[in-house]
Structure 1
Amino acid sequence: MKNRYHYLLALSGFALLAGCTQDKKAGQEAAKAISADEIKSHIAVLADDSLMGRKPFTAGETKATAYIASEFKKAGLEPGNNGSYFQDVPMVEITSTPSATMQISGKSSMSLAPLTDFVTFSRQEIDSVQLKNSPLVFAGYGVVAPEYHWNDYAGLDVKGKTVVVLVNDPGFKNGDPTFFKGDTMTYYGRWTYKYEEAARQGAAGVLIIHQTEPASYGWEVVSNSNTGAKLYLTQKDKHLSRCKVEGWVTENAGKKLLAAAGITGDIRALARKKDFKAIPLNMNVSLSIKNKLKYSTSHNVIGTLKGSTQPDEYVLYSAHWDHLGIGKPDAKGDSVYNGAVDNASGVAAIISVAKAFQQAKDKPKRSIVFLAVTAEEQGLLGSEYYATHPIYSLNKTIADLNMDALGNYGETKDIAITGKGQNDLEDYVAEIAKQDGLTLIGDRHPGSGSYYRSDHFNFAKQGVPALDINNGSDSKTHGAGYGEQQQKEYGDNRYHQPADNYSADMDATGMAQIADILFRVGTKLSNESTFPGWKNGSEFKEVRDKALVK
């Protein structure tokens, strides 16, 4: 939908001046209400050992969600769910244990070992599943993308079969930036999509061949993330519409499978050929999985500030409150995964933004919704539940402004927009960046598909324009490259590790910088009468356009 707001600004110099004045005023108010010290004070509570790593279904959840609700109340927010600050999120915890080996028979025979060669699991809510002599088919990237005239399943019947597919999409390292989106991953490249599409096609099983560069992470991330207990949203059909078996195989194991069928060389180049057709491997796979099921309910936390004149239209702020709980001790003996940056920082920021709105002299015309969601670390589950069970109509939700893992290395001269080029919300950030003398940058590693890896994505899937921004790498105090160095240090040593702790020395000024920008974006959105839209070429544009016609 075209944004009439920008059109009117182009026509009216007076409106432009008024808009800039309003932005500066909002920025001044935010500076008073949003402070680095306040953000740090919330992180100190949320990342304390007493919260046990904020894992869903634990006492740590109870403490974390109670604290967030109390802070929403202190900020003057009304309970967001019919008199309650909580939205129930029913989930099932499934602990999948695969058989001792994955047996391959037929043209060639081989035996693959768990963790060393593969990881598999099942989200079907039953005690056990089995693949017995399921025919293996190499389905390229496993993509059906009509807008790119691409269908790896064309003419292929995979019922009862197990598909073997590649991670990422055909555009990655293809050399043509117009083919798919070049090195920028589309949703078709995400592992979640591979599983969804294989299920839609009726496959019994789906195995993704891991490769580090196109996945953007090593095999250890795959193996650590897909073993032990996993959480899923409960479904009426008990997930029986999904493949019996989902999983990954190592690059070596995948190439071994394909080589046994005569497929050698650059398998990615083969699969991205426009005349590629799925290839039966003339081998069968046999594997069983035993599931241990546990049902429970987690919670999203939600508070609202009612709009003065357009209360039935909503600007949404989101951040996930959960982390990984208590796990394997590190070298120092610390076993609590506190998630100070990931994502106590985002929750602290939205609490501060809520306070800023409440203290603002001019109250927003549209309603502002603050949503702290559960189980992001388990697959964006809390935001998925809200997006599919919205308390406030998504057709009337103007935008989702998400905050996740904000930089703890101070203010930067540049601001990073995740998935840059997706929607009109970036233009709002651009206006503020210009006022503040900041440079906008996109993903540093576009092939990693960062836009599909945090909670804003679930709103994008439903057509709601969604924005996720973070600090750049050009430090205001330490110079260019400092931020990237700090990001690498965090990624190497603290991301999803017990070392992601709160420290009194933590520099939260960059977190306040992001919160301030998103407060100003939300202020502008809350006082308009128009809707931002998706840019041409976005895979989410059609969904929104159809939704707003209803």
Structure 2
Amino acid sequence: MGWIDVAAAEAVFQQANLDYHQLKQQALSPEFKAVALNSQANLTLKNQLVMAKSHNVVAQLTGSESPNEYIVIGAHWDHFGAIETETGTKIFNGAVDNASGTAATLEIARIMAKMHQNKPFKRSIVFVNFTAEETGLIGSEQFARGNIIPTKQMVALLNIDGMNVLEGTDYILQYGKGLSEMEDYLVQAAKAQGRSVKMDPRPQNGLFFRSDHFSLAKQGVPSLLFMSLGDTDPDYIAHRYHKESDIYFPEWSLGGVKQDIELIVDIATQLANNGDWPKWKAESDFKTRRLQDRP
């Protein structure tokens, strides 16, 4: 993967006597046809490989009746760390993306552990904070190899990739449509809260294929993605997403976090006790893979 910033893109187009912003606007039309730059470039890349060691963090509540069937709840704990620049060190805290998800996973674990003490879940609940999501879903890919838990024994994954740290909403976002029966659980749990389900407002970004649940989906595990980046706070994507300004603000109400935690606990509790194995709806490689494990 590679990126160039807007200024560099503008310069490339200008050298080809083209207007980047004008063509970007024209590209919104279905009738748009690709325009050749008629340009050539010689690039020299200076690259350094650094080997690093990191860890997924995994915890489990063991089920009372079907301990080898697992509901997985996860988020990714990594971000971009500290980056050295010409002007000094930049620290990327990743407060929303995804310290909010990591904190939510811990809170869900606390809530469900207390529930488990009072009345044990029939199935096991596994909590995972994945590493190296930002560098290519590496942690979840490792987990999806099944060395700790075989994927054929995973009932579903509830994956958090950024919480709504502002006020609660009357809807929940759904990523992907008609993919699996997990969407039905989302509708039911949202309805119980007096909320509706709203489709991903930016499907062109392909977010279903860009977070840790994708690693498990490739192994056939039905999943839900919980992501509120930029939906309740449009300024977030423009000025804080993947930037050093993604920091904690004391004025956050966290009403949306509470709301979604309660929804996730609801879905996880149902699956932990009802014996259901949610199925893939759409014909896909995900469905084919699941049928290999669960015909």
TM-score tier, shorter chain, comes to 0.7 to 0.9
Shift of 1:251: 8.0
Instruction: Indicate yes or no: 2:128 matched with 1:343.
Output: no
Q: Work out the CA distance in 2 between the residues paired with 1:220 and 1:290.
A: 18
Amino acid at match of 2:151: L
Indicate the residue corresponding to 2:77 in structure 1.
321
| Gap runs ≥5 in structure 1 | 1-118, 121-217, 224-247, 257-264, 273-282, 473-482
Aligned 8 A contact 1:310 1:367 in 2: yes
Match of residue 382, structure 1, among 139, 142, 158:
139
Q: Counterpart of 1:511?
A: 257
Q: Distance in 1 between matches of 2:272 and 2:239?
A: 39
The answer for the alignment partner of 1:438 in structure 2 is 195
Kindly report which structure 2 residues correspond to 1:512-527, keeping only aligned pairs within 5 A, or say none. Answer: 512-527=258-273
Partner of residue 276, structure 2: 530
Contact 1:465 1:532 in 2 (8 A): yes
How many Å separate the matches in 2 of 1:337 and 1:469?
A: 22
Structure 1 residue 533, shift from structure 2 partner: 1.0
1:146-201 Cα shifts (integer Å, max 9, x gaps): xxxxxxxxxxxxxxxxxxxxxxxxxxxxxxxxxxxxxxxxxxxxxxxxxxxxxxxx
Counterparts of 2:272 and 2:33 in 1: how far apart (Å)? Answer: 46
2: CA distance between counterparts of 1:539 and 1:300?
26
CA drift at 1:389? 4.5
Deviations 1:17-36 (A, max 9, x none): xxxxxxxxxxxxxxxxxxxx
Output the CA distance in 1 between the equivalents of 2:215 and 2:47. 27
> 1:411 touches 1:471 (CA, 8 Å); kept in 2?
no
Contact 1:321 1:373 in 2 (8 A): yes
The DSSP-based 3-state class of the residue aligned with 1:296 is: coil
Aligned position for 2:174: 417
TM-superposition CA deviations, 1:342-400 (whole Å, max 9, x none): 11100111111111111112211111111111111111111111112541010010001
How many residue pairs match? The answer is 281
Letter of the 2:288 counterpart: E
How far the C-alpha of 1:336 sits from its partner, in A, is: 1.6
How far apart, in 2, do the equivalents of 1:369 and 1:291 lie?
38
Contact 1:307 1:364 (8 Å CA) reproduced: yes
1:293 Cα deviation from its structure 2 partner: 2.8
Amino acid at match of 2:264: L
Three-state SS of the structure 2 residue aligned to 1:520 is helix
| Match of residue 291 from structure 2 | 545
Decide whether the 8 Å contact of 2:95 with 2:246 is kept in 1: yes
Match among 297, 305, 317 for residue 61 of structure 2:
305
Decide whether aligned partners of structure 1 residues 327 and 290 sit closer, same or farther in structure 2, where only a CA change above 3 A counts: closer
Amino acid at match of 2:122: K
Structure 1 counterpart SS, 2:134: coil
**How far does the alpha carbon of each residue in 1:416-454 deviate from its partner, in whole angstroms, 9 at most, with x for none?**
012233211111111122222101011101111011111
Counterparts in 2 of 1:389 and 1:438: CA distance versus 1, 3 Å? same
Spell out the pairing of 1:227-266 with structure 2 (5 A cutoff): 252=13
Q: Secondary structure at the match of 2:233?
A: helix
Partner Cα distance (2:209, 2:279) in 1: 18
Q: 1:488 to 1:270 in 2, by over 3 A?
A: closer
The whole-number CA distance in structure 2 between the counterparts of 1:310 and 1:394 is 15
Are the aligned partners of 1:307 and 1:363 in contact in 2 as well (CA < 8 Å)? yes
Note the C-alpha offset of 1:506: 1.7
Q: Is the 8 A contact 2:131 2:139 kept in 1?
A: yes
1:35-50 alignment, distance < 5 Å: none
SS in 2 for 1:299: coil
What SS class does the counterpart of residue 297 from structure 1 fall into? coil
Q: 1:323 to 1:470 in 2, by over 3 A?
A: closer
Instruction: Report which of the two structures shows the higher radius of gyration computed on alpha carbons.
Output: 1
Give the CA deviation at 1:295.
Answer: 2.2
Q: 1:295 to 1:327 in 2, by over 3 A?
A: closer
The change in CA–CA distance for 1:252 and 1:409 in structure 2 (over 3 A counts) is: same
* Amino-acid identity (%): 36
1:407 maps to amino acid: N
Partner of 1:298: helix, strand, or coil? coil
> Which one of the candidate residues 413, 420, 426 is aligned to 2:183?
426
CA 1:328 to 1:304, structure 2 compared with 1: closer, same or farther past 3 Å? Answer: same
Partners of 2:160 and 2:241 in 1: CA distance: 16
Counterpart in the other structure of 2:5: 220
8 Å CA contact retained: 1:416, 1:470: yes
Q: How far apart in 2 are the matches of 1:287 and 1:341?
A: 35
Q: Normalising by the residue count of structure 1, what TM-score does the alignment of the two structures yield?
A: 0.46
Q: Could you tell me which residue of structure 2 aligns to residue 294 of structure 1?
A: 50
- Structure 1 contact 313–398 (Cα < 8 Å) conserved: yes
Using the size of structure 2 for normalisation, the TM-score is: 0.83
For residue 505 of structure 1, give the secondary structure of its aligned residue in structure 2. coil
Q: Which of 228, 238, 242 is the aligned partner of 1:492?
A: 238
Q: Aligned partner of 1:545: which letter?
A: L
Normalized per residue, the structure richer in strand is 1
Q: How far apart are 1:511 and its partner, in Å?
A: 0.9
